A and B are shown apart, each in its own frame.
Chain A
């Protein structure tokens, strides 16, 4: 089994209407149930908007803390899944359903195998 990160790329801006969100939520709930039923489930979560982010970096021993996301842009990470899957095709299948539900692009990236550390 490999582990994959599925991340949602979400445009910044106004939140969609309640009915739209309700429908997306229902489809994502069904997707999560199916991921669990398949034994692929590790974790999922949605993120607050990028304005809620804080970046911490240490430079020359000094801690520099800045308000806002690491990269300024029109789209930001909106949420993520971590799933176990036997191969990329299975992970891409979950990503396809996530993209259908959210109407947003989903990036799929493999984690290093634990043994690789």
Chain B
């Protein structure tokens, strides 16, 4: 009998594998946003949707370890949440409560599970556009997106953005109240408004990535959880809007940056610049995916800022060593980017490419005309150009200016080492 061959202690055939709290947590992270989006459509209320989905996950934590993972965890969560919400409405709604009655009727007519992928995709997209509505502040947009689509707790979001938890909780409560009271619609904007509104959505996702890539303060340079969350949202956007080249461009940009993360810090956690990175430590799979996406979006010939930044990073990722970098190509892409978004920060990055193609003197000339005195990177770039021109004393002064403005401990350590390198004493 084959079953006697099994070592003792193994479950008999047919017994589902044990489900741990971590397994439920994984499902929570990947399915929370989808479930809240579906329930928001069914119930017409973000708060009611969140309550129902959280109840469903609490139920999952109790039952899955006993029953095993259901065949479709997302379907189980949506169905359970929907049934809980209907039960609650039945208990709480009075006969005169016409809105609750309408929701009950509507909910009962809906299929129990998201049977088609189409409407579900739309639900998440609708929720993302609702979170990123221009009537909400950027801070509220970011917090709501992480909360409702990323399933991050208020405490996690507060930690990521270094604000006290009550502040973040209040921000989220106020944003949800504004959606409800002001009547911010739960829908994807019409075609004519889409480009403007998509810009806000992409900006929020990139902001999350940037906060992870280079935390504005704190001890660690990189916050991997935020980078991962932004990439997950970026993948979702591309899945939902495959025809938007800027969405593809943003994902490509994040993947190419992400491919270098391991090489970007030394074993001690210090910042390592692109030119000095061990390129063998770059994640080849992410590089390949990012480059493929860059080619895919640029083929549409509607280049936007994210596509161009992705293309610049693709050029870097193609160079086997730093000295192989095709700086002329990088500069050409920066010329294009500066024409599209003529901001001083883009001009500053372009000047770095100018330094590689034409030398530090013309680059310094460009940098000195920029009005970026409050930005530590401006002083760091100036310092580097001055150092390369042998103007050590001025370089030291510029490093001091950068140090006075940099908030991240790892960046500060890097600048201090550079400062020591040009110190004449």
User: A-side interface residues toward B, CB under 8 Å?
Assistant: 2, 85-89, 91-92, 108-110
Contacts and interface: CB of A to CB of B under 8 A. Distances in A.
Nearest to B99: A115
B183 interface: yes
A87 B185 contact: yes
Contact of A110 (B133, B182, B185, B193): B182
Contacts of B181: 110
Interface string B106-141: 000000000000000000000000000101000000
Contact of B185 (A88, A108, A109): A88
B417 to A, nearest CB: 49
13 contacts: A2-B183, A85-B183, A87-B184, A88-B133, A88-B135, A88-B182, A89-B184, A89-B185, A89-B189, A92-B135, A108-B182, A109-B182, A110-B181
Contacts of A2: 183
Contacts of B189: 89
A82 to B, nearest CB: 15
Interface of B: 133, 135, 181-185, 189, 193
A87 B135 contact: no
A8 B184 CA distance: 21
Nearest to B197: A89
Contacts of A91: 183
Contacts of B183: 2, 85-88, 91, 110
Contacts of B135: 88, 92
Nearest to B97: A115
Contacts of B133: 88
Contacts of A89: 184-185, 189, 193
Nearest to B98: A115
Nearest to A87: B185
Nearest to A115: B99
Nearest to A2: B183
Contacts of A85: 183
Nearest to A113: B181
A66 to B, nearest CB: 32
A91 B133 CA distance: 14
Given A88-B183, A89-B189, A110-B181, 6 more contacts: A86-B183, A87-B184, A89-B184, A108-B182, A110-B182, A110-B183
Contacts of A108: 182
A108 B193 CA distance: 19
A14 B101 CA distance: 55
A6 B185 CA distance: 18
Contacts of B184: 87-89
Closest 10 CB pairs of A and B: A87-B185, A2-B183, A87-B183, A88-B183, A110-B182, A88-B182, A88-B184, A89-B185, A110-B181, A110-B183
A5 B231 CA distance: 40
B141 to A, nearest CB: 15
